[in-house]
A = this chain, B = another copy of it.
Amino acid sequence: MNIILVTNDDGVHSPGIISLYKIMKEIGDVYVVAPDRERSAVSHALTMHRPLKVEHLDDHIFSLNGTPTDCVAVGINKIIPDKPAFVVSGINKGANLGDDITYSGTVSAAIESTIMGIPAFAISLVLSKKPGLPFNFDTASKVAVEIGKYILENSLPYDTFLNVNVPDIPINNLKGFKLTRQGKRVYDGSIHETFDPHGEKHYWIGGGMPYWEHGEDTDIQAILDNYVSVTPIHLDLTNYDALKFLQNRFKIKI
């Protein structure tokens, strides 16, 4: 049976990973190796300055006192019995859209897996703004298992993983899947000033409202239109157009 490795950045006890664990059992032998606590916005951090401790919580469920990237590296090399058919990271409680994916712990697990040559996808629930309503993790779970089946049958293009975002709506309201490109967030630079008990100024990053550039084929637009957004992401960050452009202009002598 295909081994599937499940991880996330919200921690091993988050509702998103539990939904994912349960539904992935329909299509494989599922292992969870996830951070012991929330590790959001850690990006692709790899812990090299200290040793990492694995806790065996239950049958196929392990936690690690590290980042999602650590979980993939240690999980695949040291915990699961064989190479996984794919790695899935999520379900993140919150969007991973546009340039924000460079900060994302959820996405970083898929990056690490891709570096190791193993197909992967990151899946995130884009929270709606109605407080008090339950999150539609069941919608995202059903999306996840369909994408998992696709990968088992077709694999993925070289050096490429899927960044999947799911609108926070009941499955019946979902319009379908859209293949998208990564959208662009316009920077808002929200930093609050605050004071410690001794009256010293500190800065606290965050809290602003993201603003997005428009574009019909972007990830953010698909979500606004109630589609699942599926963006193929690769690890080669070279801007080849710029490379060609600069080739004739970048004449520096030293």
Determine how close the nearest CB of chain B comes to the CB of A39; give it in whole angstroms: 10
Q: Does A42 contact B (CB under 8 A)?
A: yes
Q: How far is the CB of A203 from chain B (nearest CB, A)?
A: 5
User: Is A187's CB under 8 angstroms from B53's CB?
Assistant: no
Query: Are B203 and A52 within 8 A (Cβ)?
Result: yes
Q: Are A245 and B73 in contact (CB under 8 A)?
A: no
User: A165 to chain B: closest CB distance in Å?
Assistant: 14
Q: Which residue of B lies closest to A53 (CB)?
A: B202
**Chain B neighbourhood of A194, CB < 8 A:** 51
Q: Which residue of B45, B99, B150 contacts A41 across the interface (Cβ within 8 Å)?
A: B45
A205 & B48 in contact (Cβ 8 Å cutoff) = yes
Stretch at the interface among A16-24, A84-92, A127-135, A232-240: A232-240
Q: Is the CB of A51 within 8 A of B203?
A: yes
- In the complex the two chains form, what is the Cα distance from A174 to B236 in whole Å? 27
The answer to whether A242 and B232 have CB atoms under 8 Å apart is: yes
The answer to whether B249 touches A242 (Cβ under 8 A) is no
Stoichiometry, copies per complex: 2
How many Å lie between the Cα of A42 and that of B102 in the bound state? 12
Other than the given A43-B44, A160-B242, 17 more pairs (CB < 8 A) read: A50-B204, A51-B196, A51-B203, A52-B204, A53-B196, A53-B202, A54-B203, A69-B103, A102-B115, A115-B187, A146-B252, A146-B254, A179-B247, A182-B236, A182-B238, A230-B250, A232-B242
Seen from chain A, the residues whose Cβ lies within 8 Å of a Cβ on chain B are: 40-48, 50-54, 69-70, 73-74, 76-78, 99, 101-103, 108, 111, 115-117, 142-143, 146-147, 150, 154, 156-157, 159-160, 171, 174, 176-177, 179-182, 184-185, 187, 189, 191, 193-194, 196, 200-206, 228, 230-243, 245-247, 249-250, 252-254
A-B contacts, 15 listed (Cβ < 8 Å) = A42-B45, A43-B46, A44-B102, A46-B103, A46-B205, A54-B203, A70-B205, A146-B252, A157-B242, A157-B245, A174-B254, A177-B252, A230-B250, A233-B237, A234-B242
